[in-house]
Chains A and B, each alone.
Chain A
Amino acid sequence: MLIISCMGIYIDLEVEKRQVTIERCLENPDFNGKVIEVTATLLNKNSEVYRANSSKKDFNLFSKIDLPLNEKIKILGTCRGKQGVDFIKFERFGGLRILKVSISLLGFILCVYVFLRKFQIRLNRFSIFKLK
């Protein structure tokens, strides 16, 4: 159960990591003091361009991108510097996080089930697993 809990928290951390990644995009020396653009393509909607000032660490950018985020919308975007270099791709899902945790849990539980169908556990020996 500890491992299962850890898996759930880890998936949350994955989303955190993406936010950190976008921050790194703003903090990158190549973009220092420049206005960068983030092109976000929403599912079933047109592309939208957001601008942020990297020297000011314009975090409004994130709130703008987060606005349309709900359980059904996915943002897939590219962060570009003035040189037009593709720097980062990101995508965010809103409420799918719980679904993803559940799917991962299902995978873990089924794997344990398939494994224990063939093996028995002997806790009194170092070679714990014995074929049934």
Chain B
Amino acid sequence: MPDLFTHFALGYYISKLNVFAGLGSVFVLGNILPDLFTRAMGILFSFLGLSSVFGMFFLFTHTPFGLVFFVYLLSFFFEEEIRFKVFITMLLGSFLHLFLDTMQGSFYYSLDFLFFPFSFQTFSLNLFYYNDTTYIAPFLLIFFLIGEYREYRIKKADNAV
């Protein structure tokens, strides 16, 4: 899996599209959500000696099927009026996360069970390796800062009017 910043940055750029109607930040959150919970739970389970349980948790947060349930549960933490939109937006964000993971090559075997529970066949495009995203991180950061500056300018102009 690429690092969290790469996931965040890609989600951030796409969240700037108008289709998200103010819920772009939910899309960004959905983008890092699978790794955030998998990593935290991975450490917790390994300390408890429950690695097999962690495997099930991984299927819960890193498969399209599992993510539907996971994101559905999380959407209840949002207001009822926007809950459905949050669910769809966050789900799209987390699917983008899986898509980026799928592009990465694996050392031993791929863990992208895209067709779970219908098949345990894994799928990987092998376009880059784990550490390769480190090289593009500075460029992603520059684009992020430009985006933020543009937003700041627009907000400032709006306030002036």
C-alpha gap A110/B10 in the complex (Å): 12
Dominant SS among interface residues on chain A: helix
Chain B residues, Cβ within 8 Å of A108: 4, 8, 32, 36
The residue from A6, A96, A103 contacting B39, defined by CB atoms under 8 A apart: A6
- In the complex with contacts A10-B43, A14-B130, A111-B29 CB distance below 8 A: yes
Is B77 touching A129 in the complex (CB atoms < 8 A)?
yes
Residue pair A114, B76 in contact (C-beta under 8 Å): no
A-B contact count (CB 8 A): 112
Contact B82 A131 (CB under 8 A): yes
**Nearest opposing residue in chain B for A131, CB measure:** B82
A1-37 residues at the B interface, CB under 8 angstroms: 2-3, 6-7, 9-10, 13-14, 17-18, 21, 24
Contact indicator B22/A118 (Cβ below 8 Å): yes
Across the interface, name the chain A residue whose C-beta is closest to B83: A127
Mostly, the B contact residues are helix
Q: Which residues of B contact A90 (CB under 8 A)?
A: 107
Instruction: Please give me the residue from chain B that is nearest to A118 by CB atom.
Output: B25
B4 and A104 contacting across the interface, CB-CB below 8 Å: yes
In the assembled complex, which residues on chain B have CB atoms less than 8 Å from the CB atom of A129?
Answer: 77-79
CA distance A126 to B78 in the complex (A): 8
If A106-B5, A118-B22, A130-B79 touch, whether A111 touches B130 (CB-CB below 8 Å) is no
B80 at the interface (CB under 8 A from A): yes
Which residues of chain B are near A131, meaning CB under 8 Å?
22, 79, 82
Residues of B within 8 A of A (CB-CB), count: 43
Q: Is B108 part of the contact surface with A, judged by Cβ < 8 Å?
A: yes
Instruction: Decide yes or no whether B142 CB sits under 8 A from chain A.
Output: no
Bound together, the chains give a CA A7 to CA B98 distance in angstroms of 18
Q: B82–A110 contact, CB under 8 A?
A: no
Residues on the B chain within 8 Å of A3, using CB: 36, 39-40
Q: Bound state CA distance, A120 and B29, in angstroms?
A: 14
Give A contacts to B, CB under 8 Å. 2-3, 6-7, 9-10, 13-14, 17-18, 21, 24, 74, 76, 88-91, 93, 96, 99-100, 103-108, 110-111, 114-115, 117-119, 126-131
A-B contacts, 15 listed (Cβ < 8 Å): A3-B36, A9-B43, A88-B108, A89-B107, A96-B131, A96-B134, A106-B5, A106-B141, A107-B9, A115-B28, A115-B29, A129-B79, A131-B22, A131-B79, A131-B82
